[in-house]
Amino acid sequence: MEGTLASHLFLFFLIVFSHPSKSQSLQQQNQEEEDESSSIISRFQQYLQIDTSHPNPNYLASAQFILSQAKTLNLDSETVEFVPGKPLLLLKWPGKNPSLPSILLNSHTDVVAAEHSKWSHPPFSGHVDPAGNIFARGSQDMKCVGLQYLEAIRRLKRSGYEPIRTVYLSFVPDEETGGHDGAEKLAEWERFEEMNVGVVLDEGLASTNEAYRVFYAERCPWWLVIRAFGAPGHGSKLYDNSAMENLMKSIESVRRFRAAQFDMVKAGLKAEGEVISVNMAFLKAGTPAPTGFVMNLQPSEAEAGFDIRVPPSADEESLEKRIAEEWAPSSRNMTFKLGQFKQRGSLRDKFGKPELTATDSSNPWWKLLEDAVKRANGKLNKPEIFPASTDARYFRSRGLPAIGFSPMANTPILLHDHNEFLNQAEYLKGIEIYESIIKAYASYVESTGDKVPKDEL
């Protein structure tokens, strides 16, 4: 009996000590998750630490980093230079049915300049503060999205998922200077047609509440330069139609128009993306002197630049008429130029339709996005018109559905601002959101009108 008891005790201790307790297993799982999250944040920091700010973005280092990530994921990669020194990276995750339209996940690698002295942490340090906020230029606009695409694909591949549709990822240069040497050339590329793109995802904006913002269109940039001319005169002389007087009349006319548009936003009658915004970008006049300007000489020329953003619903002809007749009339010795900086854009696609992506049942990609975000325990705000401009417009101009979406909730909008940051918890949650979206999109069988069975989503 004593032997039997001893045997039982031996077996008991063998079972207890050879099998970890439930709490030990949970601790191990938590540690693995922490290690994975730490690696994900580290990769994000590495990307943020590459200074791709204008006027001299380090595109080479950025390209090398993205290509190294693509290699770890076994993604096909190609580097295209439409313009020397400005590499565009095109990654490919082949689908099981390449005849179906593909998915294009677009992001830009460049960022705007940062005033280092105005930041609490160096703008290219990727510093994480005790609250988990990651400070860096590009943390919101939009290096976060590019890396989230890759991290979502990493998770999908690890789970054994295989896409039905081909998934492309484009990392493009020069979005912050208009996208002409990046996304615009990609959309016009003869091989773009061969990619058979069915839908494009591009950047959105942070949301200050718990619901994500999503965009189906955007305002078109019209960069306007107005010039006024007049006879020069002594600084003490009062006379009509001086260059500065005529320009000031124009500026006041523009100001009144701006105020009327802004009042509709303030009153809640329209969203920011639904009105025409006008902001003065520069004012140039005067005769330079060694100590500043000649003060007793009225200049013969004066010039002002305006950043105008026009929603797809606007009447282009009416706006052009207003510019020609009210803001820069030839009767006041004035001229104007739209597109001084190659930014005059169209509000209609190549088929003559407004550049809008449908957000109803006519667009299956919209419903797929909604459902995918819900499955990942997220929710969407009402779809909006993007108040500024993104590369998505170049794809919409081809008649393609393009949705602007950056999964950043409960986050202040800090693109182009000092101390731009994104909390690491929001960044990690965004990866889960993209994992759900990419899986839904890449699993959709549009040609038959059927979805893949739910157990595959």
With H, G, I as helix, E, B as strand and everything else as coil, classify residue 316: helix
Longest dimension (CA), the chain: 123
416 is in an annotated binding site: yes
Catalytic annotation present for 317: no
Q: How many residues does the chain have?
A: 457
Using the Cα atoms of residue 241, residue 242, residue 244 and residue 247 in order, give the sign of their dihedral.
positive
Q: State how far the Cα of 364 lies from the Cα of 446, in Å rounded to an integer.
A: 8
**Got the DSSP string for 329-356?**
-GGGTEEEEE-TTS----SB-TTSSBS-
- Strand 214-218 and strand 197-202: pairing? unpaired
CA 443, 446, 447, 453 dihedral sign is positive
175 given a catalytic annotation? yes
Beta strands in 56-108 (DSSP E): 76-80, 88-93, 102-108
| Selection from 423, 431, 428, 457 nearest residue 443 by Cα | 457
Active-site position among 151, 174, 175, 349: 175
**141 annotated ligand binder:** yes
3-state secondary structure of 188: helix
What's the CA gap between 401 and 216, in Å, rounded?
Answer: 8
Q: How far apart are the first and last CA of the chain?
A: 58
Q: What is the full DSSP assignment across 1-39?
A: -HHHHHHHHHHHHHHHHHS--HHHHHHHHHHHHHHHHHH
Asked if omega into 142 is within 30° of 0 (cis), the reply is yes
**Which parts are annotated binding residues for Zn(2+)?**
108, 141, 176, 203, 416
Active-site positions read: 110, 175
**Which parts are annotated binding residues?**
108, 141, 176, 203, 416
